[in-house]
Every structure is written in C-alpha cells, then in structure tokens.
Amino acid sequence: MLNFFYNIQSRMQAYVLTALVALLAIVCHECAHGWVSYKLGDPTAKNAGRLTLNPLKHIDPIGILCMVLFRVGWAKPVPINPYYYRDRKKGIIYVSIAGPATNFILAFISLLIEGLLLKYSPSHNANWIFCQLCYYSAVVNISLGLFNLVPIPPLDGSKVLGELWPKAAHFYWKYQGYWRWVLLICVATGLLSRPLGLLNNMLLNGMWKVVRLILL
C-alpha cells in the first residue's frame, strides 16, 4: 500500500515538474521566434505583445496538455511579417530555427546546472528536487526542439523545408486545411514517439557527456 501511494506521489511530482518546465520551454521558444524576427526588422511580434515571458500571451491549452501527457506540444504561433526582411528566405529560416535552437540551449544549460549541483552541493532533499527539475527541463526542451523540427505544418521544420524546397511549400499549401489534423493524429497515436524518443535520448546523452567533460 505504501508503495502504491509512493508511486502516485512520484507520478504527480513528475507531472508538476514537467508542466512547469514545459511552460517555460514553450514561452522561451515563442519569444525566440519573435525576438529574431524583431532583430531582422519586423515589429509585428512586438506590436502584438508577444515579446514577453508572460505565459498567458503564448500558451495554447491543447498544446500544453499534449506537452505534459506526450512530451511534445506547441503554443500559439508568433505573428511575423516576412516582407520586412531584407532576405525573405533567410529571414524565415532564421526565425524558424530560433525556437528549437533556444530549446537546445536551455536543455544544455539545465544539464550543466544539474552537473554543478551534483558535484558541488551537499546531498539533501532540496538539491535532489533541483536536480530533478533540471533533468526534466533538459528532457522537455530537447523534446520540444526536436518536435518542432518535424516537417509537418505548422511546425518550424515545415517552414524551413518549405523555403529550401519550393515543391514542399506547394505541397503544404495544397493540403493546408488538413495538416493540423495530421499533426494531432501523429501525437495522439504516438506515431512520432519512438523516433523522437530515440533522438531525444541521443541528444540528452551527448549533452551530458559534454557537461561531464566540462566539469572534470
């Protein structure tokens, strides 16, 4: 019976930690899109109030729920206007990559903090909780970054592919009314879980090896 309640408590703690780091990961992801677009001369995101860490400006309830349950999710897309860019093609690619890149950077920083805590902090409950928080942050940020690189609209990967390969852009446009359903089916059925899970583990282990080398 004690094990039963302990398992429930552990799961609840995992869900709470995942929800917290997912919220931060998604907000930073969307802010990165808007900030890079702003630096390229586009004031659209700033005028829409999206250059903020206020999660209420960014969250999509279904996307957050999927993030907690399936470790993949999304937020409300940041509005941009590519016609402000000097080079439209490069601008869209830079803005699209900014979100996933930010997630990978946050994941590495999280693992670095965890490594520092494990190496220099005494072992106690508070330290363990912070280490867990850092670990979940790394996992969630890597998951979010990889998921958004999947070339299914409206994810960032589709925008990059569409700019690099015009035929893909035409294909996306031709079936534009169906892609959100395709994405929901892929998430709900776990179709993307295995390949993304394998990539997540590879990146997580790779980053952790780099952190260990840094902290030698």
Q: How many residues does the chain have?
A: 216
**Residue 190 identity:** G
Average pLDDT over residues 194-206: 93
The verdict on whether 30 is a catalytic residue reads yes
* Residue located via tokens 């930073």: 28
pTM of the model: 0.87
SS3 call for 93 = helix
Angstrom distance (rounded) from CA 35 to CA 58: 14
Catalytic residue among 18, 23, 25, 30: 30
Mark residue 71 as left, alpha or beta (left: phi above 0; alpha: psi -120 to 50; beta: remaining). Answer: left
* Residue 79 reports pLDDT greater than 60: yes
Tens of pLDDT, residues 80-100: 999 999 999 999 999 999 999
Query: What whole-number distance in Å separates Cα of residue 128 and Cα of residue 115?
Result: 12
Q: Average per-residue pLDDT in the chain? A: 86
Domain assignments of the chain as residue spans, ordered by start: 19-214
